[in-house]
Amino acid sequence: MKRRCLLLFVWILAFGPVLESLPAHAATPSFTISATNVTMPSSGDGSIPFVLTSVDGYIGTVAVQCPEVNAPAGARIPFCGGGPAFAFDLTADETVNGNLTLTPYGVPVPLAAGGLLIGLALRRRKGGWPTLALVLAGTLASLGEAVGCGGGTSSMTPGTYPYTITATNAKTNVVVSTTANVTVR
């Protein structure tokens, strides 16, 4: 028993420095998103602040959007996003702050902003097609909701509603998400 302990001690002394000098496995570059809970009046506008962060040297284009909320039947809740996904080109270890617009229930969502974002995606150089596809898909998805909105403002249903904020890598379609609670008063 003493001999085994002595051999283990010698082995640690001999090979310990060698093992310490070996490079650690590099972390896989990725990105994260976080969002802040908000409170808004039942007749007004609001926004959900978010933070998009490059992790471990991630470099790439990330689309941020707020998909449809699973609200109780008959609840009149704010529409999130107001159009297609917003694309951000992240550099290594960069942090980007942004806001997703909350539009009151029943107020038509302007589609002009979607057209401008499509124009921004079209002007991209190399690798612009994945971003363009995400922007166009978001625009088409938003059209159905915008056309369904009635004219005029109506009061929203008071309550707290969870909105999922997603960030999607434009090339690999890796998705990360977070939840922000929107309280309507």
CA–CA separation, 48 and 166 (whole Å) = 12
**For position 179, what pLDDT does the model report?**
94
**For position 167, what pLDDT does the model report?**
94
Is residue 107, in this structure, part of any structural domain at all? yes
Which residues span the domain enclosing 40? 26-184
Is residue 21, in this structure, part of any structural domain at all? no
The domain that contains 131 carries what CATH number? 2.60.40.10
- As a dihedral over the C-alpha atoms of residue 150, residue 155, residue 157, residue 162, rounded to 10 degrees, the angle is 70
Is residue 134, in this structure, part of any structural domain at all? yes
CA–CA separation, 170 and 62 (whole Å) = 6
Is residue 17, in this structure, part of any structural domain at all? no
Number of domains in the chain: 1
> What pTM was computed for the model?
0.62
What are the residue ranges in the chain where pLDDT is below 70? 1-27, 82-84, 108-154
- pLDDT single digits (tens) 25-67: 556 779 999 999 999 998 888 999 999 999 999 999 999 998 7
